[in-house]
Structure 1
C-alpha cells in the first residue's frame, strides 16, 4: 500500500495522543471511500468524504492566479454559510484551464455527489488533481460518483484515490481531551511534485469532531497553514489546484472552541501537529526524493525574515543536489541565505549539519568529513542556521533533488 510512516511526537510530554493508525475518518461521524472510475488506467481515481451531520468548514487555496474550476465551486459552496457535509475528489485530471466546460463539469460533480448522499448541493466541496488542460471524461466521472455508498466506505481507498505521482498514502490522526471530552483530529493529503511555499499541487483534508466557533476556524486554519504547508517546497512550482480544507462537525460534544477557551492552546497544538505531519510527508515524498531536508533558522531580525531565509535554503537546487550527493558543501547554504532578500550579517552566521558545526561567525571550521557525510546519508537531514541575536525563527521542509525527478516529470503525461 506504499509508505505510511507516522511521525513521532515532537515532545515527549505532548498534550495529545497520536493514533497508531490514524485517518481522516478517525473523528466521530466521518466516512470516506474511493474507487476506480476510468480517469486513470487502473488505479483508484475518485473518492469521497462524508460527515453524518453538517460541519463548520473553511479552506485556503493556491496563490496561483490561474485557479482550477473545482476551487471556484468549493468557494461557491462555502459562500452559503461555511457548512459542508461531503467532499468529492478526483485524481488524474486537474480540470484546470478548461474554460466554461470545466466549470460546468465541476458543478456537475457537486450536484451528483449531493444527489448521491441526499444533501444540499452547497454542502459539497470539489477538488481535482492531475494533468492540466484536459477536460474531464464526465461519463466516467458520473458513473463513479453514482457508485458512492456509505455502506462501502473504505478510508484507504480514499487515500489511494487522491494520489498522483505520490509513492504512498499520507494520513495521521491525534486525540486530545477538551472539556473532559475526547476530541479527534484526522487528516489525509496528496502531494509529491509541483510543491512550493504558498501552496502548490497539494490537497490536504483535515477533519475533527471538535465543536469550533466558525469565526475562529478560518483564522486557525490560516495560521496553521502558514507555519506548515506554506513552509514546504519540492521544486519551486506553484500549481493551479491546491487546497487545504478543514471540517469540524462538533460531535465530540465539547464547549465551543475559540481563543477565549482555556484549552484553545492545546487544541491548536494538536491541529498544528496534524498539519505539520502531513506537510512533512509531502516534502519527504517529493518526486524521486530520497531524503527530507529540514532547515531551522534562529536569530533573524523577524519571523518573516526567518521564514524567507529557511525557504530559500530548502528550495535551493544546489543545496538539494548537495544533500542528494552527501556533499557537505556549506558554501551553497550561505549562498542561498544571502539571496533570501533580507539584511544579514555574514560575520555572525553559524551553520550546523545534524548538530555538527561547519561554519562559525561566517568562517569554516574543521569537521570530520566522514562523520558529516554519514549525517547526510540519513533519511532526514537537519540544517540549522544561527544569524544573530534577533528573535525571528522558522522551520522549512523540502527534499533532495535526484535524477528520478527529471525522469518522472519528463514523462508525466505519458
Structure 2
C-alpha cells in the first residue's frame, strides 16, 4: 500500500461517513431496532474499508460495500448475542441474510419469513400463531381471539413452541420454490388472520389496524403472483377484496355501525368487487375446492343478494354446508345458523346451534352471543334474548357495534 492510495481511501471513507452515516445506521437498525449494534457493525465496516480499499482499490459504490460488510457483521453479532426471544432473533438474522444475499426466491422478505415458520418439525397448530406474533407483530391477545382461545392459553402455547425450537435446534430457512405449495395453508391462514385483525377497527380510524389490513392485502397479492395456479391463493385474495370493498360502508356519517343488510351497495368499491369476481372465476376453473374459495363464494353470494334484492338463502346455506364439511368450526356454524334462520326460521337456526351450546370456544366469542340474541328475540324467547344481548354487549370492543346492540336490546 502506498501513502497516496491510503490517503485516498481515508478521504473517501470520511466523505461517505459525512454524507451517509446516519442513513446507513438507520437501514441497519430497521429490522432489530438495535441502534447500538448497528453503529458497532458500521464502525467495523469502516475499519475493514480502511484496511481493504488501499490494497484492492475503492469500490465503485462505497456505500453499498459498507452496507454489505456491516450487515454481515450485524448477523455475526446477533448470532453471538443470543439475547431475548430466540425465535425472533433467528428470524431477524434470516431477514438480514435475505437482504444481504437477495436470493430472489420470494418477492418480499416478510413473505419469505412466513414460509420459514412452516418448518415441518413445528406442530401444524402453532405455525400460524407463531407467524402472527414474530413476523406480523400481533399480540398474544389478538392471536388468541382469532383462534377462540384465552390469551393465557395462547401465550403458553407460543412459549412452549419457542422452547421446542430452541431445545431441538430447529433451523429457520426459506424453502425452495417447489416446496412452497405444501407449506401454503399455514401462510394463507396467517395472512387472513392478520387481515381480519386489521379490518376490525374498534374506533373507525385506527391507522395501525388499517396498515395491518393493507399489509395483509399486499402479501395476498404477492402470493397470487408467486403461485398463480394455486386456487386457494386466488380464493384468499378474492375473499379479502370482497371484504375490503365494503369496509368504508360499515359506518355512517355519524360513526354508527351499519350492518350488511342496511348498507347501500352503491357505496361499495365496484372495482374491487370486479377484481374479486375475476379471481374467484380463475380459482373455480382449476377444479380444486378449498376453504378460502368457499368463503369468497359466500361473500359473492351476499353481494349478489344485496345488489339485486333477490333472496338466495338456499344457495348460501349450501355453501355453508360445504364449508362445514371441509373446515368445520364453531364460527362457521354460527354464520350458517344465521343463514338458516333466513331460509327456515329462527327456531331451525337455534336447533342447529344447540350442539354448540357448551362449546368453551364460544363462551367469549361475541358474534355467537349477538347471533343467539337475535335468534332468540325472533323466536319470542325475550328473557333469554335479553341475557344473550347483555353478554354480547359486554364482550364487544367496538363502541359503534356496542351501541347498535344496545339499541336492539332496548327494542325488546
- TM-score normalised by structure 2 residue count: 0.27
Structure 1 or 2: more helix by fraction: 2
Query: Which structure exhibits the higher relative contact order, with contacts defined as CA atoms closer than 8 Å and separated by 6 or more residues?
Result: 1
Structure 1 or 2: more strand by fraction: 1
